Structure 1
Amino acid sequence: MRTTHARRPSLKALAVATLAATAALALPQGAQAADAYPGKPIKLIVPFAAGGSTDIVARVLAEGMRTTLGQPIVVDNKAGAGGLIGTEAVAQAAPDGYTVGMATVSTMTINPLLYTRAAGLGAKLAPVANLVTMPSVYTVHPSLGVNSFDAFVAKVKAQPRKISGAVPGPGTLGHLMLASFNETLKTDILIVPYRGSGPALNDALAGMVQVMPDQLPSSMAHIKSGKLIPVVLAADARSPELPNVPTFKELGYDELNELGISWFGIVVPKNTPAPIVKRLQDAAVKAAHLPDVQQHLKNLGASATDMDQSRFPAQIAQELKRNKALLDKAGVKPE
Structure 2
Amino acid sequence: MTSFLARRTVVSTLCAAAACALLVAAPAAQAADNYPSKPVKLIVPFAPGGSTDIVARVVAEGMRASLGQSVVVDNKAGAGGLLGTETIAQSAPDGYTIGMATVSTATVNPSIFTRAAKLEGKLVPVVKLVTVPSVYMVHPSMGVKDFQGFMAKVKAKPGDYSVGVPGLGTLGHLMMASFNETLKTDIQIVPYRGNGPALNDALAGMVQVMADQLPSAMPHIKGGKLVPMVLAADRRVPELPDVPTFKELGHADLNELGMSWFGLVVPAGTPAPIIKRLQDAAVSALRSPDVQGRLKTMGATAVEMDQSKFASQIAADLQRNKALLDKLGVKPE
TM-score by length of 1: 0.90
d(CA) in 2 for partners of 1:29, 1:122: 27
User: Equivalent of 2:77, from 76, 79, 82?
Assistant: 79
Structure 2 Cα separation of the partners of residues 210 and 178 of structure 1: 13
The one of 214, 222, 229 equivalent to 1:216 is: 214
Query: Deviation above 6 Å: which 4+ runs of structure 1?
Result: none
Corresponding residue of 1:271: 269
Alpha-carbon distance between aligned partners in 1 of 2:241 and 2:297, rounded to the nearest angstrom: 16
Q: SS where residue 151 of structure 1 aligns?
A: helix
Deviation larger for 28-37 or 114-123:
28-37
Matching residue within 53, 57, 73 for 1:59: 57
User: 2: distance between equivalents of 1:39 and 1:193?
Assistant: 45
The aligned amino acid for 2:126 is V
User: CA offset at residue 97 of structure 1?
Assistant: 1.2
Alignment partner of 1:330 out of 318, 328, 331 = 328
Counterpart contact for 2:192–2:198, Cα < 8 Å: yes
Q: Tell me the matched-pair count.
A: 318
Which aligned pairs between 1:6-85 and structure 2 lie closer than 5 A? 25-85=23-83
- State the AA in 2 paired with 1:138: Y
Q: 2:175 aligns with which of 152, 174, 177?
A: 177
Is the 1:108–1:122 contact (alpha carbons within 8 Å) kept by the matching residues of 2? Answer: no
CA distance in structure 2 between the partners assigned to 1:332 and 1:326 by the alignment: 9
Tell me what 2:310 maps to: 312
Aligned match of 1:251: 249
Aligned: 1:186 with 2:189:
no
Question: Which residue of structure 2 lines up, in the alignment, with residue 226 of structure 1?
Answer: 224
Separation (CA, whole Å) in 2 of partners of 1:29 and 1:184: 55
What secondary structure, in the 3-state scheme, does the structure 2 residue paired with 1:160 have? Answer: coil
Q: Matched residues in 2 for 1:331 and 1:155: separation?
A: 29
- Whether contact under 8 Å (1:95, 1:273) holds in the other structure is yes
Partners of 1:252 and 1:23 in 2: how far apart? 55
Aligned twin of 1:9:
none
Q: CA deviation at 1:308?
A: 4.4
Measured in 2, the distance between the counterparts of 1:287 and 1:31 equals: 24
Instruction: Decide whether aligned partners of structure 1 residues 192 and 22 sit closer, same or farther in structure 2, where only a CA change above 3 A counts.
Output: closer
Q: Is residue 166–residue 191 contact of structure 2 (8 Å, CA) maintained in 1?
A: yes
Q: CA deviation at 1:295?
A: 1.5
Cα-Cα RMSD? 2.0
Seen in structure 2, the aligned counterparts of structure 1 residues 77 and 188 have a Cα distance that, compared at 3 Å, is same
1:208 maps to a residue whose letter is: M
Please give the TM-score of this superposition, normalised by the length of structure 2.
Answer: 0.90
The equivalent position to 1:125 in structure 2, one of 100, 123, 126, is 123
Preserved CA contact (<8 Å) 2:103 2:260:
yes
Identity, in percent, stands at 73
Whether contact under 8 Å (1:29, 1:273) holds in the other structure is no
Tell me the SS of whatever aligns to 2:331: coil
Question: How far apart in 2 are the matches of 1:61 and 1:141?
Answer: 32
Assess if the C-alpha contact under 8 Å between 2:231 and 2:244 holds in 1.
yes
